[in-house]
Amino acid sequence: MFDSVRVRLTLWYTGVLALVLIGLSAGTYWLVARTTERRTFISLAEISQGFLTTLQSEYKDQLKERAGLEALHAAAQESVDEFRLRDHRFAVLDSAGNVLAENQALPAPREPTGAASQREIPGEVLRNLVAGTAGAPRLLQDLTLGDEHFRARVTQAEVGPSPVTVVTMQSLERERELLEDIRTTLLWVIPITLVIASAGGYFLARKSLAPVVAMSEKAALIGAQNLHERLPVLNPNDELGYLANTFNGLLERLDRYFEQQRRFMADASHELRSPVAIIRGEAEVALSQPRPPEEYRESLAIALDEARRLSQIVDDLFTLARADAGEYPLRPRDFYLEELAADCVRAARTMAAARGIMLSYEPDGEMPIHADEALLRRLVMNLLDNAIKFTPEGGKISVACRRAVAEYSLTVRDSGPGIPAEAREKIFERFFRLDPARSPAARGSSNPADSGGGDSGAPKTTPESAGGGTAGAGLGLAIARWIAEAHQGRLTLVQSDASGSTFTAILPANSARGAAALSPNGAGEAKAAPANRKSAS
Q: Determine the Cα–Cα distance for residues 358 and 355; give it in Å rounded to an integer.
A: 9
Residue 156 in contact with residue 165, Cβ under 8 Å? yes
Domain boundaries, the chain: 5-106+122-179, 222-328, 330-536
- Per-residue confidence (pLDDT) for residue 536, from 0 to 100: 32
Helix (H) / strand (E) containing 224 = none
How confident is the model at residue 105, as a pLDDT? 59
Report the chain's C-alpha Rg in angstroms: 53
Give the angle 21-27-30 at the CA atoms, nearest 5°.
135
- Could you tell me if 76 and 69 are in contact, meaning their C-beta atoms sit under 8 angstroms apart? no
355: Cβ–Cβ under 8 A, 6 or more apart, which residues? 388, 391, 393, 445, 466, 468
Contact in structure between 397 and 391 (CB atoms under 8 Å) = yes
- Written as one letter, the residue type at 478 is A
Reduce the DSSP state of residue 148 to 3 states and report it: strand
pLDDT reported for residue 413: 92
Fill in the DSSP letter of residue 289. S
Pick from 373, 371, 364, 363: nearest CA to 514: 371
Q: What's the whole-model pTM score?
A: 0.49
- Beta-strand pair 407-414/148-159: unpaired
505: helix, coil or strand? strand
Which CATH number does 222-328 carry? Answer: 1.10.287.130
Spatial separation of the C-alpha atoms in residues 123 and 433, rounded to whole Å: 120
H or E stretch including 302? helix 293-324
pLDDT tens across the length of the chain (537 residues): 566 777 888 888 889 999 999 999 999 999 999 998 898 888 888 888 888 888 888 888 888 777 777 888 888 888 888 887 888 888 888 877 788 888 765 555 555 444 444 456 776 777 777 776 555 545 677 777 777 788 888 888 888 777 888 888 888 888 888 999 999 999 999 999 999 988 988 888 888 778 888 888 888 888 777 777 888 887 778 787 888 888 888 888 888 878 777 777 777 776 777 778 888 888 888 888 888 888 888 888 888 888 887 887 788 777 777 777 677 788 899 999 999 999 999 999 888 888 899 999 998 888 899 999 989 998 999 899 888 887 888 899 999 999 887 889 999 999 888 888 888 878 887 777 765 544 444 444 333 444 443 333 333 333 333 333 345 567 788 888 989 988 889 999 988 888 889 999 999 986 334 333 333 333 333 333 333 333 333
User: What's the CATH code, domain 330-536?
Assistant: 3.30.565.10
- Please name the CATH architecture into which domain 5-106+122-179 falls: 2-Layer Sandwich (3.30)
Report the residue count for the chain: 537
